């Protein structure tokens, strides 16, 4: 055990910090869930790519730096420390990208990875359906084979970034006789094809961060299949495991939020209120604990261990911590916490967004079932 | 940066687990609760032979020359078996603190048994098995004692009247004895929690109601998952605290406090949830669960409770 950075890690940190300090926009960009904000975030991603910072953990040949997980965490710490914009192509770079690297063909890697790293193509995810939410295996959208093409029909919902994204990835039923998680195929699909209708859904904050996608005889080449036909569930689960486990919410996001919370407490908090100072300390402890837990997890991955259902523990932990951080901030803000503008805006927006955390990427109740079944080996059942 | 244990460290902990699975079963622990001897003498000898008791004593003083990183998984294993007696006090504090004293050889081989009297408590745990008692600045070599009925039968409490003392330092690796105990008990409590969760998960697989194992019900699954979550997220902070303490880090005390606060709360949470999963049988003397539950209730407040330790973290991070 050595929790000091190596010289190489420190040098990497310094390089990232220097680049970010010179390049991060001086004022925050508009939300990437608006047309203007989306375009500006894509420009920022292009800039990151040009500096080879958009996908540091990817191999050099696809635009990355071949950084290991520890270095990826260091980059994330510097990224959040710098106040850089949110990652508009997160669905691609952190979810789909690693999956393509794992199960994609050489042609798919060459075609999709560089354009993903540069955000020339921004990806939306299209998994859930109106009747396939927590029960994701009950997917009805189907893909029917016609020569060298899939013909897609059906409806997806809660597709993040789909309003302005270029492509989507999702799972479709390809074997109508198979049930549940069998007979599904993972398919990549441009969002500007004939037969596709994207209907924005206003979120709790009023922005249209997600959408419904309707497929009406949409034709895509069979070459757009990721992984084996009828084995899409396993491909999707690999992606979901990575999402919940490490890449979706890196610890720096929360350690930086807690730093801002401590600043808010110092500025507006009542120092004689020990319940409040205990609460602020508690989320510092949680964020620091999550950081340490993540470093331990990725060291294990570097030593050859895989993360399985333990990823569900992470997802519950960070999503509940995020809500708690924002609840305390709103408590400190008092009457200002009712305002959706001015100095409290970021905290109120953050609070609304934090409430989605326990729901998306598999509700926390589903995660608890997964932990009980696969880690604690309790019997299946509802 | 490398946040993992070495193969040797893991194997040593596995060896200890193996020993305890044979010589410190719930039946053995119950014996100690009933016979009032205060510990398991045969096990004590084996812990001495294996080098557990002298793990933190320098090799030049006849010990294993280990660090708190080497010891932290051992504390955890001792907790998993709810080992009765002054093993933490002896191993984590007394043996290394007195490594350069006349008592060193006998502490290393376990023929002299030491326990600890911390300033924050009027009581001394395990005094009936101890030959000497270490306080923050002295060794009590002759004493009388009165029994205080404690909640944990594997950790009997006493009021002690010192008759002869010798001045000494009780620091270990430059840290106060109570903080080293806070770290050791944090790791021990993680082991205690793991055991409670395993016992309750086993019970939930066997016990049937409504024609199904109760572990198939979501209410039970979620109770158990939440208990596990707290324990899993107490581990990395506890291991980090051991690293900070071993390397003389300036944040060692803060990191120890973080570990003790998290581990104490995780253990208490696990005791509540696992007892609930047991239902009525969990409220009986007969159920083994109490061997760990009572250990958690005794240790969560010893060497500083969660509020004390969280405020010490707060003093560092809010005002630092």
Name all domains of chain B by residue range, CATH numbers in brackets: 7-167 (1.10.540.10), 177-317 (1.20.140.10)
Q: Does B237 touch chain A (CB under 8 A)?
A: yes
Q: Which two tokens stand for residue B188?
A: 């021990």
Q: Does B209 touch chain A (CB under 8 A)?
A: no
Report the gap between the CA of A182 and the closest CA in chain B (Å).
24
Q: Write out chain A residues lying below 8 Å of B193, CB-based.
A: none
Q: Which two tokens stand for residue B175?
A: 């840290």
Report the gap between the CA of A232 and the closest CA in chain B (Å).
28
| pLDDT for the residue numbered A240 | 59
Q: Write out chain B residues lying below 8 Å of A296, CB-based.
A: 3-4, 235-236, 239
Q: Would you call B221 and A378 a contact, using CB atoms and an 8 Å cutoff? A: yes
Cβ atoms of residues A219 and A146 within 8 Å:
yes
Report the gap between the CA of B121 and the closest CA in chain A (Å).
24
Q: Write out chain B residues lying below 8 Å of A373, CB-based.
A: 221
CATH of domain A249-375: 1.20.140.10
Asked whether the predicted pLDDT for residue B37 surpasses 80, the reply is yes
What average pLDDT score do residues B83-101 get? 98
Q: Write out chain A residues lying below 8 Å of B2, CB-based.
A: 1-3, 299
Q: Write out chain A residues lying below 8 Å of B244, CB-based.
A: 3
| pLDDT for the residue numbered A341 | 87
| Average pLDDT taken over every residue of chain B | 97
User: Which of A51-65, A185-199, A229-243, B227-241 is predicted least confidently?
Assistant: A229-243
Is A123-230 CATH 2.40.110.10?
yes
| pLDDT for the residue numbered A242 | 58
Q: Tell me, rounded to whole angstroms, the distance of Cα B13 from its chain centroid.
A: 14
Question: Residue B225 is nearest to which of A288, A290, A371, comparing CB atoms?
Answer: A371
| pLDDT for the residue numbered A236 | 84
Q: Would you call B201 and A378 a contact, using CB atoms and an 8 Å cutoff? A: yes
- Give me the active site residues of A, please: 243
Output the CA torsion A291→A292→A298→A304 (10° steps): -160
| pLDDT for the residue numbered B283 | 97
pLDDT digits (tens, 9 = 90+) for A319-354: 999 999 999 999 999 999 999 888 899 999 999 999
What average pLDDT score do residues B8-24 get? 98
Q: Which two tokens stand for residue A373?
A: 């079944």
Question: Hey, is A150 helix, strand or coil?
Answer: strand
| Average pLDDT taken over every residue of chain A | 93
Q: Would you call A378 and B243 a contact, using CB atoms and an 8 Å cutoff? A: no
**Residue B320 pLDDT grade (very low, low, confident, very high; cuts 50, 70, 90):** low
| pLDDT for the residue numbered B36 | 84
Q: Does B7 touch chain A (CB under 8 A)?
A: no
DSSP string, A186-225: EEEEETTSTTEEEEEE--TTSS--EEEEEEEEEEEEGGGE
**Residue A180 pLDDT grade (very low, low, confident, very high; cuts 50, 70, 90):** confident
Where are the domains positioned within chain A? 7-88, 123-230, 249-375
What average pLDDT score do residues B94-104 get? 97
Q: Write out chain A residues lying below 8 Å of B3, CB-based.
A: 1, 3, 292, 295-296, 299
Q: Write out chain B residues lying below 8 Å of A2, CB-based.
A: 1-2, 243
pLDDT digits (tens, 9 = 90+) for B156-188: 999 999 999 999 999 999 999 999 999 999 999
- E strands of chain A, at which residues? 123-126, 142-146, 149-160, 167-173, 184-190, 196-201, 210-221, 225-226
Q: Write out chain B residues lying below 8 Å of A289, CB-based.
A: 233-234, 236-237, 258, 262
Residue of A nearest to B200 (CA): A376
pLDDT digits (tens, 9 = 90+) for A83-137: 999 999 999 998 899 899 989 999 999 999 999 999 999 999 999 999 998 888 8
Report the gap between the CA of B189 and the closest CA in chain A (Å).
17
Cβ atoms within 10 Å, residue B251? 17
Q: Would you call B235 and A296 a contact, using CB atoms and an 8 Å cutoff? A: yes
What average pLDDT score do residues B8-36 get? 97
What average pLDDT score do residues B202-230 get? 98
**Interface TM-score (ipTM) > 0.90:** yes
| pLDDT for the residue numbered A321 | 98
Report the gap between the CA of B278 and the closest CA in chain A (Å).
14
Cβ atoms of residues B137 and B169 within 8 Å:
yes
pLDDT digits (tens, 9 = 90+) for B272-305: 999 999 999 999 999 999 999 999 999 999 999 9
**Residue A358 pLDDT grade (very low, low, confident, very high; cuts 50, 70, 90):** very high
Report the gap between the CA of B261 and the closest CA in chain A (Å).
9
Q: Would you call A381 and B197 a contact, using CB atoms and an 8 Å cutoff? A: no
Residue of B nearest to A380 (CA): B216
In angstroms, rounded to a whole number, what is the distance separating the alpha carbons of residues B261 and B229? 15
Q: Does B206 touch chain A (CB under 8 A)?
A: no
Q: Would you call A293 and B205 a contact, using CB atoms and an 8 Å cutoff? A: no
pLDDT digits (tens, 9 = 90+) for B45-84: 999 999 999 999 999 999 999 999 999 999 999 999 999 9
DSSP string, A224-265: GEESSTTBHHHHHHHHHHHIIIIISS-HHHHHHHHHHHHHHH
Q: Would you call B3 and A379 a contact, using CB atoms and an 8 Å cutoff? A: no
Residue of A nearest to B231 (CA): A313
Asked whether the predicted pLDDT for residue B203 surpasses 90, the reply is yes
**Residue A306 pLDDT grade (very low, low, confident, very high; cuts 50, 70, 90):** confident
Would you give the DSSP letter of residue A39?
Answer: H
**Residue A51 pLDDT grade (very low, low, confident, very high; cuts 50, 70, 90):** very high
Q: Would you call A2 and B240 a contact, using CB atoms and an 8 Å cutoff? A: no
Residue (of B135, B191, B121, B178) closest to B309 by Cα position: B178
In angstroms, rounded to a whole number, what is the distance separating the alpha carbons of residues B220 and B243? 36
What average pLDDT score do residues B185-207 get? 98
């Amino acid at each position: 055990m050595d929790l000091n950075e190596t010289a190489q890690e420190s040098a990497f940190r310094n390089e990232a910090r220097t680049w970010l300090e010179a390049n991060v926009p001086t004022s925050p960009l508009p939300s990437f869930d608006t047309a203007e904000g989306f375009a500006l975030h894509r420009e920022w991603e292009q800039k990151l790519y040009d500096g080879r910072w958009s996908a540091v953990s990817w191999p050099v040949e696809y635009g990355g730096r071949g950084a290991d997980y520890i270095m990826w965490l260091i980059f994330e710490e510097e990224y959040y420390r710098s106040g850089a914009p949110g990652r508009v192509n997160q669905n691609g770079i952190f979810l789909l990208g690693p999956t393509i690297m794992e199960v994609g063909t050489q042609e798919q890697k060459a075609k999709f990875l560089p354009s993903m790293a540069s955000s020339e193509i921004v990806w939306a995810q299209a998994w859930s359906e109106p009747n396939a939410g927590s029960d994701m295996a009950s997917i009805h959208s189907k893909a029917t084979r016609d020569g060298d093409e899939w013909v897609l029909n059906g409806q997806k919902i809660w597709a993040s970034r789909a309003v302005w994204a270029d492509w989507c990835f999702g799972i479709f039923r390809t074997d109508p006789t198979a049930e549940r998680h069998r007979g599904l195929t993972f398919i990549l699909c441009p969002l500007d094809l004939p037969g596709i209708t994207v209907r924005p859904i206003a979120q709790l904050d009023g922005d249209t961060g997600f959408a419904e996608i309707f497929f009406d005889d949409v034709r895509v080449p069979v070459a757009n299949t990721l992984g084996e036909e009828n084995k899409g569930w396993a491909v999707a689960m690999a992606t979901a495991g990575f999402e919940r486990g490490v890449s979706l919410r890196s610890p720096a996001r929360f350690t930086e939020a807690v730093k801002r919370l401590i600043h808010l407490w110092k500025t507006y908090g009542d120092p004689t209120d020990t319940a409040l100072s205990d609460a602020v300390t508690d989320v510092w402890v949680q964020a620091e604990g999550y950081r340490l837990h993540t470093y331990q997890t990725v060291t294990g991955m570097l030593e050859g261990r895989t993360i399985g259902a333990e990823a569900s523990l992470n997802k519950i932990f960070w999503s509940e911590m995020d809500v708690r951080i924002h609840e305390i901030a709103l408590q400190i803000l008092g009457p200002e916490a009712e305002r959706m503008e001015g100095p409290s805006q970021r905290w109120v927006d953050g609070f609304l967004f934090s409430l989605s955390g326990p729901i998306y990427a598999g509700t926390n109740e589903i995660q608890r079932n997964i932990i009980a079944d696969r880690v604690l080996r309790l019997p299946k059942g509802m | 940066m490398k946040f993992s244990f070495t193969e040797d460290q893991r194997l040593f902990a596995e060896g200890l687990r193996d020993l305890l699975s044979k010589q410190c079963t719930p039946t053995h622990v119950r014996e100690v609760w009933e016979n009032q001897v205060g510990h398991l003498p045969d096990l004590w000898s084996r812990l001495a032979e294996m080098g557990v008791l002298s793990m933190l004593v320098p090799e030049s003083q006849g010990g294993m020359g280990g660090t708190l990183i080497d010891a932290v998984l051992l504390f955890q294993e001792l907790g998993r078996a709810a080992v009765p007696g002054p093993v933490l006090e002896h191993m984590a504090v007394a043996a290394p603190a007195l490594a350069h004293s006349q008592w060193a050889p006998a502490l290393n081989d376990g023929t002299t048994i030491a326990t600890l009297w911390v300033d924050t408590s009027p009581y001394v745990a395990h005094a009936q098995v101890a030959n000497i008692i270490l306080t923050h600045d002295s060794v009590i070599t002759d004493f009388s004692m009165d029994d205080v009925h404690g909640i944990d039968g594997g950790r009997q409490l006493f009021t002690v009247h010192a008759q002869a003392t010798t001045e000494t330092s009780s620091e270990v690796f430059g840290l106060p004895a109570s903080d080293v105990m806070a770290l050791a008990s944090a790791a021990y409590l993680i082991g205690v929690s793991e055991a409670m969760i395993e016992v309750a998960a086993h019970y939930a697989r066997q016990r049937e109601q409504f024609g199904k194992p109760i572990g198939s019900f979501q209410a039970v699954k979620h109770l158990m998952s939440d208990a596990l979550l707290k324990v899993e997220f107490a581990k990395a902070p506890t291991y980090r605290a051991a690293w900070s303490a071993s390397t003389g880090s300036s944040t060692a005390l803060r990191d120890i406090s973080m570990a003790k606060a998290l581990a104490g709360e995780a253990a208490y949470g696990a005791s509540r949830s696992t007892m609930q999963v047991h239902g009525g049988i969990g409220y009986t003397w007969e159920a083994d669960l109490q061997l760990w539950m009572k250990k958690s209730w005794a240790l969560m407040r010893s060497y500083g409770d969660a509020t004390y330790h969280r405020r010490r973290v707060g003093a560092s991070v809010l005002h630092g």
